[in-house]
Structure 1
Amino acid sequence: MAQVLASGSGCNLVDLVLATSKSILQISKILSGRQTEREVKKLLRHFIVHCTLVFDQVQRIRTNLVPENDLLLQALGYFESLIALDATSNHPYGRQQGLNKRWHVMRTQNSDAKFAFATHCLVLDQTSILHALDESFNVWEEDVMAKYPEDGLDWSLDDYSTGKERRPEPSYAVHSAAQSMFEALARSAGGECCTTHDARLCLRTYRTLEAYQGVDNEINDFEMLLSSHHDWQETHVHTIQKRVVRLDVDNKIQPSPPRKKLLDYEPMPVKKLCDQLGKVQQMVSKRLKFKVENGCLLKLRSEKSKFRIDKSKAPISLQQFIERKTRSLTEKTKRILAVLLGSTILHLHDTPWLQPGWNSSSIFFFQTTSSNIPLRPFIQTQLVVQDLNDQGQDEQESQSNASGAEFLEGYPNSMDPDDLDLGDLDPDDIFPDPDDIEHPFPTLVTLAIVLMELYLELPFEILAKNRDDLYFPENIDSRARWLDVAAVFDEYKREIPQNSKCHYALEKCLDPRIWEDDNGRKLDNQALSVRFYEEVVRPLEDELCDAFDFIKIEELDATAENLDFRSWGQAIYQREEDTSSRGTPVSLAQGFLSSQRRDLANINDSVLSKSPSPDFESGHHLATGSEYVTAKFFDDEKPSDSHSCLEMEDYIQWRLRHKVVLGKFIDPFLKQPPKNPVKIAVLDSGVDDTHFSLNTGRIKLKRNWMTAKKKDVTDNVGHGTFTTSLLIDYAPDSELFIAKIAEGTPSPPEVVAQAIRTAVDEWKVDIISMSFGYPSNQTEGYGQLEDAILYAHSKGVLLFAAASNSGANLDRAYPARDPHVICVHSTDSNGNRSKFSPTPLAQESNPATIGESVESAWPTKLCNIKTNSRCVQWKSGTSFATPILVGIAAFILQYARIHLPDKAHVLKRQEKMKSVLLKISDKTQQYITRDGYSYIALNLFADNIFGKSKVFIDETIGELLKR
């Protein structure tokens, strides 16, 4: 049959399978959108994925395919069974040819015509066939990957397609250098030394290697901290591994040329590490420097310290950062740490530096004397020489196991062990139980655990509690541990986008087959390093560089060390002691700022320590009374009568364009109030619900946190009435829940925290709108507010807050600066940045919408009815851009609940809602931000997403919610 296909069909089978996968993909999307039967809808979504994978995989391996390729014929056979249309020719795959020809014509028709045709294309009435084909495609995809492994090809193809330069591989010599360095240090720490020595090795990529010019050696430099009595000393170790280079001249073996002497002194052999650690304690601002050559530890001249740690402060582990839910784990710091951790496994696997029990509690960060915590992780171990007898026994057992494996080579799998003459051998030793599955490298399982903790920002023990059937044994090398970790990953993989390279790296770490050779034996060190880099480290590097294109992997070590982990990965500014050392005086302002940084650092230390101080709940420096009282809580930019008629007219047109979108996509589908309305909590100064524009029945509950009269939410300043009325304008079908948390002066943060928790737990809201801000988080009780925000975020509640109205004089206010809150900036009606809106942040989207010359309701008791019969005001400020953007978010969520019900829940994740909002701001593929802001507006203009067809809108939003 293959010969007939190759010669007489006149059809390229590769092109046929590609064309069919595209046709069925498009048809399945159309059918899935209107399918009412749940099981069929689910299977159609599966076939959308299968068609995508078939197309991608066949494209990838097409140069390796011949007409008689089994996998190609299998895919064609599955497609043929899926199609319900009759064949249009005698070709073995005539149904596919007929489908592709007809669909080529039909796809240009209107949506109703395409749907009518699509209903007859697939065997939807035969669910047994659909289930069988679904499973067949799953097996097919696994077979393709097994027969044609990617081996890192996907990453290189991505690089070439995007014009990126292929990144060179790291030096694999670091592994052996780290091993020899540990042995040299351990020998000097043992023997005559009478104390226990610990070491903390700095985790780096080792991409930039310092080398002596003209020396043909592998040279690596390691940074670490050494200790004998927990008095950590900075140490620099220089390792030299000679390459054996010999020349055969006239049948005589000649040694390599002698190395030129580069030092003006002779290095001193180190016999007792304690002595050297004791000497350097007397030399302030100095660090030890050693050299390892030919397995010997040599003392070099001490050099100037480059990492001034504050020895009075305890180090902070990565586990503590994760457990305390600090805001240090930003997208940037998480991705940098992922690369550093992957590089750690690459360079330190199977060395004493990486102990079997390592985890996030083994990784430490140190505070410097400048009150920074550089993103410079260290891993701790004890300098102990391994017993040579134990090492020989391990090697003997390894050889014995290898002999057993060789004994089995050549025997069929079906052979009965009773038929073999095994002599004194136990059959159970030769034929292991198939259930005894082991991961060949348990340290990769631990890496997967730490990566999950980083990405999900939760300790692994908490992640595992959601799986009551799991039991985690203490033995980190146990088989059950690997299987249970894989089960936890399977439970949470939906929280990690499948197309992300972190997801890819996690899957590879937990797949034991990848780390074995063709005979089922674990890879040797060299093969493991190469494969681990391609399958895990390189994808993590790519994900970091794709997200932050200003970061270069070759410079990552230096880049990370200049980031303050405590301050959300911001750059560390020049230290004041370094400035003064050069003779430049420190100004009073610099001194004040330095002292403030030190105060904040001291408080943060108490937050992260295991023995928290009494102010642990707040976690922040306490603001003075004057700071607290004078803070501007509700910051209108200018009074009502200062807005021009032209500005007012522009706003009215802007609001009208928004209402037209509602009238097209929401109103026709809601003949009555929605069954599942969007619920919004408004945290503000209360509301005048007697105002005619607010008396719509959309306000469901009210509560006052300022007085004992809980139901009295009278608005005495007007701010809350103004913002609530805007929400009714922009989200008319939503339900509003009013929380009065302030009058005209700042409210204690713990009051706001209580309102947030009530909105989440009792009111079950979807969105919280906060048109206020504290100028600093150094306010008594702010820690409670921070915890409440994190709690709401964890419950899938979207939070929006005003950026502030201080222009470039101040940064974003709090809580808008919190990473779990969407910060809202202000523009005019044309998307130009408002002069009072804060400067946009680099590497952030900075969402913004209209906040100038905004009209809304004002409390009747504060109005002069004779001059202001409608009781309205015109205001400007980020406080008013916030409810407008909240209204747009509510529209998106309501749209999804009506038109994309199976995906609507995903919009409750902050990153998904932001991705849709940013899509609205995009005008073309070449679109860049305006004034650094992502300007978001709803209208039917052709360049706006809602100015396009509904099919396009649904597909675009659907794709965004899949990622």
Structure 2
Amino acid sequence: MAPDTGVCDKYSNGTALIHAALEIILDIARFLRTDVDDGELRIFYADLMVYCVIIRNHLDRITRAGMSLACELADSITARLSVILTSEASAEASLRGLHARWNEVRSQDGLVKARFISSNLAFGERHKQRMELVDFLASLASWEKEVQVRYPEDQALWTAEDFGQQKKIADPSFAVWNAAQAVFKALTACQNCGCTPTHDFSARLFLSTYRKSNTGADTEGDVDFDMFLSVKQDWQEARVHTAKETVVQFALEGQMPPRQPKTRAARVQRLCEPIVKAKKKMAAYRLELKVMRGRLFKLQSERSSRLVDLTKSPVSLEEFLQGGSRAFTEKTKRILLVLLSYAVMHLHDTPWLQSTWSSSDILFFRTSASEIPLRPFLHIRLDGTGEDSSKLAEQGQQSGEWNEGEFDPDDTDPDDLMQHPCPAIVTLAIILMEVHFVTTFDDLARRLKVEVGGDASFLTRYLDASTVFEACRKDIPENIQFLHAVERCLNRATWEDEDGTRLDSLALRSRIYEEVVRPLENDLSLAYSSIPIEGLDQFAQTLDFSSWDQAIRNHPLSEPASLLAGHASPSYLHHSSLAVPGVSSTLVPKPSNEADHKASRFFDDEMSPSDQSPKACANYSSWKRKYQAVYEKFITPYIGGAVSVKIAVLDTGLDLNHPDMQACADNIKAKHNWLRKDSKATVHDPDGHGTFVTGLLFDYAPDADIYVAKIADRKPASPRVIAKAITHAVDVWKVDVISMSFGFPTRAVDGYDELEHAIKHAHYHDVLLFAAASNSGGQLGRAYPAREANVVCVHSTDAHGNRSRFSPTATPEDVNLATVGEAVESAWPVHLCCGDEQAAPEEGEEGAYCRAKSGTSYATPIMAGIAAFLLLYARLNLPDRAHLLRNRSHMIALLQRIAQKGQGGGTRDGYHFVDVSLYNDSLFGKDKVYIDQIIGDILNS
């Protein structure tokens, strides 16, 4: 199909038509992805959406830079996009026609849209030629690569005529330095409270550009500092205001001078008092403090509008760097470089910026949804003993000051003359290199085979930084201004006057801006001209640093999606199925501490007893008996040694002394403790969770072979440990089903990339994975790995199919499978029953060593057991096609069909309630010929 070369002139060099076509294809792919069960097609649609966004962003970037897309590139992408259309017209005409027709049907119901897509596009359920789809994505990838080569994101590599004149960036005010000094002194001046034990005062200061439009303050006088204050590592949000000097006002004759409104303020004598009071009584409020004439005053607190979740540990820049390049896009790198250089400009020669600062002192807070805004904070102790960098430099070098007559070469160590006059700027150079190369300084040195890591003196660190920079500068394009910024940082002459004397603080700040900040601003503005330097702080904090700089959901500063085009990736870029070459959408920083893991509710069980009432327990027992009647009718009489199903359960282990487990001992085929090096070590269950879950598997798949993988005790498991257990279950145990009754609230957990790889490995080998949805109700979405594309997510209901109050809200664009997870009864370890008020019945009594519990943790093994039952049924009755039921999409389709009750049965509370019984409306209440026909049709689809 020959492209119409006139497209360039008619549509602003092709971008208008291409942009419109991409939006339509993106819209259609999103619609199709929500309505398909085929796993491979879902991945195709997800990848197609990613490429639409990437190509659209390239077009926007090129346009913003003042460039016109070359005609041959416009023609090329037009032709490639038109390949998926069934029209025989030219490429341009085909895309025009698609645009016109889609606008007519996009607002209509799903059936109309599905018919339109089937008739006009060469993909969908009727057109799934796999190789053609792969070739289509490959063609988009090759075009995107060609654009990257011709129009690199680093626009400093473009020729001068490639972009328009750079917008003038106004010089910043230096009033922030004075204000920062005053705030630090005022805070430390009221720490002597006499409390026992002595408080450990700390602060986390927001690193801002402090430009007027960024802060909302008049930077020629008033400056506001956002921070968190702590007396015992228990953080309280605060805003500290600084004031202009009083201005004398003259009244005109016959007029009274204007009255100024009075603000109530209380002098702060002891800093601990307002912090402790706010934490106890006003946690939802922000402390408002003000520094006037060197003293600290407390104003009326204001309700906080922060997104920060102080119960979650922040992530340091060092941890991001250790996690690799997953979080860092070119955009986030450039923004971060500018913000950090501003921090040094504003805070240099103040106690806020110690000479020993590093990337471990730069923190990023999490939101309640575990997003991480690109909003850096500097952590520092407020003990008032830290000396500023100028004083520390003087100790090593005496600031380079001496009188010629007093200089004695024999008494001066020549190494002292090599000292850098500004150690904090050496650290800035190191951090700039770390961010640019997305690795820690020590790892960068090892990669370059440069030996570093001597003592921590300023001289050693300076020499190490200079050596590493010289070794890596060959990997930095010569014509980008980042190179100039780092070079100036490490050139000691930059920070001295003609006599070799260290510049004073005011001159230093001017030099930092001209030699470091401005070059980095220029790099950012050239690469992303639509990102305003004057509004950089607001823009940066709308980006999720942990997820490929996609937009923070529900951020008060977020722009409408249409305005963020080209700046932030849409939410679906966070999905694990997006296999974009060279692009990873998730960050996996090392968790800061164990407390944050505990907050994640790793085991998705509900502790409230309200769901385990006697009536609820009786309802569950009745529901289970109905299922067991189906199993006894269709499986028990026909099961033999040649037919079986293998299930791996990943949990806290198993009480092998439990009577129920001893009765099923022949079905426990293997055990492995992944918490110890000895693979034959005991799988003792100190928690009870694993025993309870395994008991449920035996309840619903009594003839299954069970493989026990102990991946946790009472604490959350490491994703790396889980990944090893999954891989072992797939490759060594050759299981059919894996049950996982746990979840992380985010992918931002150390080692999650390995878990993600193991899940894909299991899916590739047609192993069915079931995972708990989470118990956060409407507060959070599904947990990970239940949210992964290759895992079956399991929600919870009561015995009547009503949504459990703790089960996450149904996701409209995905299949929502649910089964009973309330008042579920199962085995409980014998050693945990002793002294337990709930139980410890007489041995032999019915229900001995059992408990009733609720949670998606327990709906999961029930669903996995039902899946095992279906596999057994297929292997007994449709042996030639039974292997197809190990495919996730086929299993989900069958579970959905089982959820239908009667003709045209739909969802309940947004869920497909999987309920197996002999009732006539249930699939297994039908004639066996009918059952086999339905299952056969699903396997053939």
Q: Which structure exhibits the higher relative contact order, with contacts defined as CA atoms closer than 8 Å and separated by 6 or more residues?
A: 2
TM-score, length basis structure 1: 0.44
